[in-house]
Structure 1
Amino acid sequence: MTKNIFNAAMVLVGTAGLLTGCNFDQPEAPCFVQDSASWATRYDPIDDPVDANGAGCELRAPIAELVGVYKFSDPDDLSNSLLTLRPQGVASIANRDPGPTTDQTALGRFDIEPDADEFCTAETLSVASVNAAATQTAPATTISYEFSNIQVYAAPSTPGTQLRGQVKYTRNGCTSNYAIRSMWPAVACNPTNPNSCAENPNVNPDFATECLTVSTNPTTGAVTAYCVPSKPVPSFK
C-alpha cells in the first residue's frame, strides 16, 4: 500500500528539517519492513538499573511489549529512508503528556540495501519519550527509550518480520540497557501450553518462538503473553 506520510511524519516525529521538501511515500525496496503497530518485542537485560549517581534502583523495562515499527521512503530519492519505532510504554500514557507528541516516536536513517548478513540497519535514532502528568490514580511518570543499532532481517524468505538491536531505557531517572529481539506479527499465546506458538497459524512455522508472559492482572489474574523469538535474530528452527 502506498501512503503519503509527509504531514503524518511531522506529527509523529517532529523532524521538519529532515523531511522538508520530500514527497514521502512507501514504494517496494530491498530493505522491506512489515509496517505495524504490533511487533512483539522482548527486552533481554544487559545490566542492572542505576540512577544518575550510579546507585542501584529498581525500575526496569517491561519483559516484553508491543512496539510500532514503520519504514518510510522518498520515491524521488530512494537513498532517503527512515525507520520509526513507538513503544507501547510510551503510547499507553501519551495522553497524559502535555508536551509535543512528536517526542514520542524514535526515528533514524535506515539502510536502503541489506548487508552481507541480510540485515538493514538504523544505527542511530532519536529518543522516544513521554512525560506523563499525575492523575488521581497514577503518579507522574517519565519514560524514555534510546534505541540503537536496530537491524531488520530482510532475507527474501522472511522479509522484514524480525529485528534486533539495543535500547537504553530510563523510567523516572532509573536507567538500564537491553538487547532487543522482535517479531511480526504479534500473536497472543497461552503460557501453560508449550506448543501454543508452534501450533498457531499466524506464526511463521519456520520461526523459533516461545510464549512469554508479559503481565498478570493483579485483580483478575488474567495473563497477557506473546509469541517472541526464542533464539538470536534471525530466530529459526
Structure 2
Amino acid sequence: MRSVTAIWLGGTAGLLVGCAEQPSAGCQVQDGAWHVAYVLKNPAEASTSCGALTSDTFGVYKYLVPASEDPRTPSTMALRPQAAVSLATYIDSAGTRRPRVELTPPEDPANPTDPTGALQASRLATALSTSFPNEPDAQDGCRVPSFSRISIAARAVTDGSGAALPARTVDYQFSDVYLYSSPSAPGVLFRGSLVFGDGNCTAEYRVLGLSPAVPCTTDAECRNPATGINRELDVVCLNGGCAPNPTTWTLFGE
C-alpha cells in the first residue's frame, strides 16, 4: 500500500487525484493498438527526408517470463511501429506474405508455422526494452531507459498488385520512455525519445503514445466517453489521432 499524490497532466481539468493509501497498480501496459505522435525536437530537420514522421499505430506490449522458467528474468516492454512491420514484408502475386529483408537464419519451407519467413521478418520490427520495472516511481511513472534497435533494409520488390516497391532502409532507436501507470490510468500513455534514420540522415523526435488508438480531427473528439479514453487524462488531437497533450510535457515525468 502507498499514498498516491496529485499529478497535473495539464489543462484546467487535467488533475489526476488518487485516494490515500491506494494500492499500487504496478507497471502495467495496455496491450493492443496505440496512437503514437512524433514531434521533431529540431524543427529545422523537417526539410530532411528523415524529418517527415508525423504519427503511426504501434503495438505496445509487456512480456512476462514465468517464474517457473527463470524468476530472475525481468519483464520486457515492446514497441512495434506498424510502418516498420509493413516495410519488412509484402504480399506477392500469389497472395502470399513474404519477407523483404535478408533473414538469419534463412526461411525454412519445412517450418509448419512460418514457411516463408514472414513471421521472422516481422519480428525485426519490434524494439525490446533492456529492462522494465515492476513498480512505478513516486509519480506513478515507469522509466524504461533503453531499447534494442529496429533496423530494416527492405529490398525492391513488385507486390501482388503490380506496384513497384523501392528499396528502403529505416532505423529506429527508442530511449528514455516514461510510461504512466497509476491505479486510475494503468499503463495507457507514455512519452519517450526516438532517433530515426533512413540511410541518408537522422532526426530526433519526441514520441507521445496513447491507448486506445483513436483517430480524430478535433480535441473534442478525444474527450468523447465513447472512445474509451480515460477521461481524467489531458489528451488532444495530434497528427490525426488522440495523444497526450504535448504542452504539458514537462509535467509528465520530466
Same fold (TM over 0.5): yes
Kept in 1: contact 2:148–2:173 (CA 8 A) = yes
* Residue matched to 1:133: 155
SS at match of 2:222: coil
In structure 1, C-alpha distance between the alignment counterparts of 2:224 and 2:181, rounded to whole Å = 25
What is the root-mean-square deviation of aligned Cα atoms in Å? 2.4
In structure 1, C-alpha distance between the alignment counterparts of 2:79 and 2:52, rounded to whole Å = 16
* Residue matched to 1:33: 29
- Given the alignment, which residue of 171, 175, 184 partners 2:211? 184
Aligned pair 1:201/2:229, yes or no? no
TM-score normalised by L of structure 2:
0.67
In structure 1, C-alpha distance between the alignment counterparts of 2:219 and 2:141, rounded to whole Å = 30
* Residue matched to 2:125: 104
Identity of aligned residues (%): 31
Kept in 1: contact 2:37–2:56 (CA 8 A) = yes
Aligned pair 1:46/2:41, yes or no? yes
| Offset, 1:194 | 4.6
Kept in 2: contact 1:40–1:182 (CA 8 A) = yes
Mark the runs of 5 or more structure 2 residues left unpaired by the alignment: 1-24, 91-99, 104-120, 159-163
* Residue matched to 1:89: 83
In structure 2, C-alpha distance between the alignment counterparts of 1:148 and 1:35, rounded to whole Å = 20
Aligned pair 1:230/2:220, yes or no? no
Q: Which has the higher contact order (CA 8 A, sep 6+)?
A: 2
In structure 1, C-alpha distance between the alignment counterparts of 2:146 and 2:219, rounded to whole Å = 37
| Offset, 1:135 | 2.8
In structure 1, C-alpha distance between the alignment counterparts of 2:152 and 2:40, rounded to whole Å = 22
- Given the alignment, which residue of 60, 73, 89 partners 1:69? 60
Mark the runs of 5 or more structure 1 residues left unpaired by the alignment: 1-28, 51-55, 214-224
* Residue matched to 2:50: 59
- 1:117 maps to amino acid: Q
C-alpha offsets along residues 56-111 of structure 1, whole Å, 9 cap, x if unaligned? 83332521111111111223127611111111220121205233424321111111
| Offset, 1:163 | 0.6
Moved over 4 A (4+): none
SS at match of 2:89: helix
In structure 2, C-alpha distance between the alignment counterparts of 1:115 and 1:78, rounded to whole Å = 21
Pairs aligned (count): 189
In structure 1, C-alpha distance between the alignment counterparts of 2:124 and 2:238, rounded to whole Å = 29
C-alpha offsets along residues 173-216 of structure 1, whole Å, 9 cap, x if unaligned? 22000111111000122x2x452222251222222222234xxx
Kept in 2: contact 1:103–1:127 (CA 8 A) = no
Bigger radius of gyration, 1 or 2? 2
